[in-house]
Amino acid sequence: MSESLKHKATNSVFWSAVERFSVQGIQFLLSIIIARLVLPSDYGLIAMLGVFMALAQTFIDSGFSNALIQKQNRTIVDFSTVFYFNIVVGIVIYICLFLGAPYIAEFYNEPQLTIIMKVVGLNIIIISFSIVQRAILTIKLDFKRQALASLIAVIISGGMGVYLAYNGYGVWALVFQALLNNLLCSCLLAIFAKWWPKLCFSFQSFKSLFSFGSKLLLSSVLHTIYQNLYNLVIGKKFSALDLGYYNRAYTLAYFPSSNIINVIVRAIYPIQCNIQNDLDRLERTFIQYLRMTSYIIFPLMLTLCVLAKPLVILILTEKWLPIVPLLQ
């Protein structure tokens, strides 16, 4: 690996790590505070909608973000085409979620999910406005501004979430926290990216990007279904309380590993795109990153397994003790 590439990789990983661990760390701490104030069943209600929201967000991006990053000769038309496509898809998906909310509530036998789904679904439209801006900053390897946008959003929205949870708003504290977080983050990314769409849409550009993005879309859909299938089945067959326990255990277990992986993947993917035509070099760098993540994650997860019970008592209180065996 050349010195300039090493410098870019190191700098990208650093700021990607700053964003993930500062933002996710603060968000994690705030979620612990909120978990001590709300009932496990409140988390279960949100988790019931998880598979629908995750699939919706996957379709919004449609792999276009990675397609833009991967493409070598991008134009303003490419960015504008993806921007308008994402917004249209976001609105269409929200309408589907809005109309399907009563059926989702009936599926889980939880009537209150109807109104919750209609409000939570607004996140899809909000997120659709920031896909291109985030891609632009990623192409520039500018994770510093992404970190700043995410950090400001999570602090303000998290503070409001804690306030609402403390005042007895229950599940709505989680709902409005997510809405405010995505709204603030989208606005800040638009400001930091300093990019505004042009009044243009190219079907040729769409076709070119979709030929790459569609493959990623299919992969993402399968992965999203796999990741959320447990929530769907547990929510259907058991209670919101049981799903709340599972959701917290899953979140705690995957917090360290998923964040470490995301830090490296987000920072390295644009660099790998730049050397995509040098297969030997690409393979060597991939093995280096794989080895590095393994050395970190394996001992970390074993430690988490051993310390599961005292950790749960310390950070979540004894009302969450049923999650210990699930966490392990």
pLDDT at 270 over 80: no
pLDDT at residue 117, rounded to an integer: 93
pLDDT tens per residue across span 283-292: 887 888 788 7
Is 142 strand, coil or helix? coil
pLDDT at 239 over 70: yes
pLDDT at 119 over 80: yes
Query: Do the beta carbons of residue 68 and residue 77 sit within 8 Å?
Result: no
Burial 127-148 (b: 16+ CB within 10 A, else e): bbbbbbbbbbbbbebebbbbbb
Rounded to an integer, what distance in angstroms lies between the CA atom of residue 98 and that of residue 101?
A: 5
Lowest mean pLDDT among 44-48, 58-62, 101-105, 309-313: 58-62
| Domain that includes residue 65, residue range | 3-327
Mean pLDDT on 61-89: 82
- The model's confidence at residue 97, banded by pLDDT at 50, 70 and 90, is very high
> In sequence order, which ranges of the chain are alpha helices (DSSP H)?
3-37, 40-48, 50-61, 64-70, 76-108, 113-120, 122-128, 131-139, 143-166, 171-193, 203-237, 240-274, 279-306, 308-316, 324-327
> How far is CA 46 from each of CA 20, 96, 238, rounded to the nearest angstrom?
23, 18, 15
In terms of average pLDDT, the best of 181-190, 231-240, 252-261 is: 181-190
Torsions phi, psi for 244 (to 5 deg):
-60, -40
Dihedral sign, Cα of residue 153, residue 158, residue 164, residue 168: positive
Number of Cβ atoms within 10 Å of the Cβ of 161: 28
Is 183 strand, coil or helix? helix
Mean pLDDT on 266-278: 72
Mean pLDDT on 279-298: 81
Q: Which residues contact 125 (CB under 8 A, 6 or more apart)?
A: 87, 90, 91, 94
| Residue type at position 132 | V
pLDDT at 154 over 80: yes
Query: Do the beta carbons of residue 156 and residue 95 sit within 8 Å?
Result: no
- The model's confidence at residue 66, banded by pLDDT at 50, 70 and 90, is confident
Mean pLDDT on 301-324: 87
Mean pLDDT on 55-84: 81
- The model's confidence at residue 120, banded by pLDDT at 50, 70 and 90, is very high
Q: Give me the number of domains the chain comprises.
A: 1
Is 88 strand, coil or helix? helix
Rounded to an integer, what distance in angstroms lies between the CA atom of residue 47 and that of residue 120?
A: 12
263 versus 42: the higher-pLDDT residue is 42
pLDDT at residue 96, rounded to an integer: 93
